[in-house]
Amino acid sequence: MEQAGMFLQQHPGSGKVTTTSTKRSKLLQELKTLMQQVRANFSGQEITSETALFWLDEWSLLAETHGIDLLRDALRHHCRTQRFLPLPVDVSDAIAAVKKRKVEERLGAFPYVACSRCIDGLLVEEIEKDGVMRRQARECDCKKQWRASRNAAIPPRNRFARDDD
């Protein structure tokens, strides 16, 4: 596995300029350990050392983008739920799945309770227009405040469109 370090060093674009070589070699060591664990989990399947090196490079990019902890969780998730060694695209998918689950857990910590003035966050008002009484619904302040506090607890990069529920 010694070659993996050389492989990464030959591709300086794969790392951030600010990343120190110490940090990177520590990261690489963690990635190698993860690779060993994942390969052991799917021990019936063989991959070439070239493939393993390519995957290590892909994993290091994912780790730099999403953090090593998320990558580790994603690989664990894959090992628990899949039957085959993860291709880089599988690792990306697993990261998305883990992120989604984490966000849902955080959302679960922010149950919405409507105030006494509204119905599930909606205020229904009667307004007169052209001599006719019409009903109009608008969002209650209690729901706006709830969404703001919930959004503040979730990092922007983990937010989904459903934040505007």
Site residues, Zn ion (CB under 5 A): 115, 118, 140, 142
Minimum distance between the CB of residue 134 and Zn ion, rounded to whole angstroms? 21
| Choice between 4 and 140, CB closer to Zn ion | 140
Minimum distance between the CB of residue 142 and Zn ion, rounded to whole angstroms? 3
d(CA 13, CA 31): 18
DSSP-derived 3-state class of residue 43: coil
| Choice between 96 and 119, CB closer to Zn ion | 119
Minimum distance between the CB of residue 127 and Zn ion, rounded to whole angstroms? 19
| Choice between 103 and 142, CB closer to Zn ion | 142
Residue burial 60-73, b: 16+ Cβ < 10 Å; e: rest: bbbbbebebebbbb
